[in-house]
């Protein structure tokens, strides 16, 4: 069953219409999503976690993306999106730990339609080792630890070293900017800046 979504107008207000996700994408109707970036710090430094979307996903299969994300189903509140973090990563996050970074407006062409979404974006600092996460294989192929000091290199050089965690194994690799789900210029850099603030005990400013 395709999940049902609340449809919004261009200003982000509910229209009262409820349609299946596939229909919302086919018709280019505005709807809400939840995005959660996870950052952390260990003896090697401060980092962001990224996910590689499963190859079976209907949009952007195999691409690198935000740590955990998903559509908000009809009737759900924003914090209900935390179920995506638990389902995709096996990580339970309390709502009060969410640091809001703002609402991101996205319009992009996808196969068989146009994806128009309002992303409620949050940041969380968590000490769980990436290797201890339980990945939902239907949604997430792997997670990557990207050192915050490498984010600038990713933009300047087009690639950067990272550590990959998947199926109980860990390996050093390189990730490429071309592998990311298309995003506006500088999005990842702004998230990394917010993570630096949070990890230095400074409340980060909204980035949207």
* Whole-number Å distance between alpha carbons of 85 and 83: 5
Q: Using pLDDT thresholds of 50, 70 and 90, give the confidence band for residue 184.
A: confident
Q: Specify whether the CB–CB gap between 152 and 189 falls below 8 A.
A: yes
Question: Average pLDDT of 184-190?
Answer: 87
- Containing H/E element for 21? helix 21-27
State yes or no: pLDDT of 33 exceeds 90: yes
Question: Average pLDDT of 64-87?
Answer: 97
Please tell me the predicted confidence (pLDDT) of residue 109. 87
Across-strand partners of 46? 41
Q: Specify whether the CB–CB gap between 71 and 58 falls below 8 A.
A: no
Question: Average pLDDT of 71-97?
Answer: 97
- Beta pairing class for 169-176 and 68-71: unpaired
The top-level CATH class assigned to 4-199 is alpha beta
State yes or no: pLDDT of 206 exceeds 90: yes
Q: What is the mean pLDDT of the chain?
A: 95
pLDDT tens-digit readout, 124-139: 999 999 999 999 999 9
Placement of tokens 């146009």 in the chain: 114
* Angle 128-119-45 from CA coordinates, rounded to 5°: 30
Q: Using pLDDT thresholds of 50, 70 and 90, give the confidence band for residue 59.
A: confident
Question: Average pLDDT of 49-56?
Answer: 97
């Amino acid at each position: 069953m395709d999940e049902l979504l609340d449809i919004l107008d261009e200003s982000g207000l509910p229209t009262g219409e409820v349609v299946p996700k596939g229909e919302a994408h086919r018709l280019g109707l505005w709807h809400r999503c939840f995005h959660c970036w996870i950052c952390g710090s260990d003896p090697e430094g401060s980092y962001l976690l990224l996910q590689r979307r499963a190859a079976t996903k209907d949009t952007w299969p195999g691409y690198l993306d935000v740590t955990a994300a998903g559509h908000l189903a009809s009737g759900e509140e924003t914090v209900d999106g935390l179920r995506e973090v638990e389902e995709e990563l096996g990580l339970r996050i309390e709502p009060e730990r969410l640091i809001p970074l703002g609402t991101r407006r996205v319009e992009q062409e996808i196969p068989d339609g146009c994806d128009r979404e309002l992303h409620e974006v949050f940041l969380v600092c968590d000490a769980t080792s990436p290797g201890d996460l339980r990945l939902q294989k239907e949604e997430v192929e792997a997670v990557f630890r990207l050192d915050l000091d490498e984010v600038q290199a990713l933009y300047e050089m087009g690639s950067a070293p990272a550590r990959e965690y998947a199926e109980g194994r860990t390996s050093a690799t390189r990730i490429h900017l071309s592998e990311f789900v298309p995003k506006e210029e500088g999005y990842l850099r702004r998230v990394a800046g917010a993570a630096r603030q949070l990890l230095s005990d400074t409340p980060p400013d909204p980035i949207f």
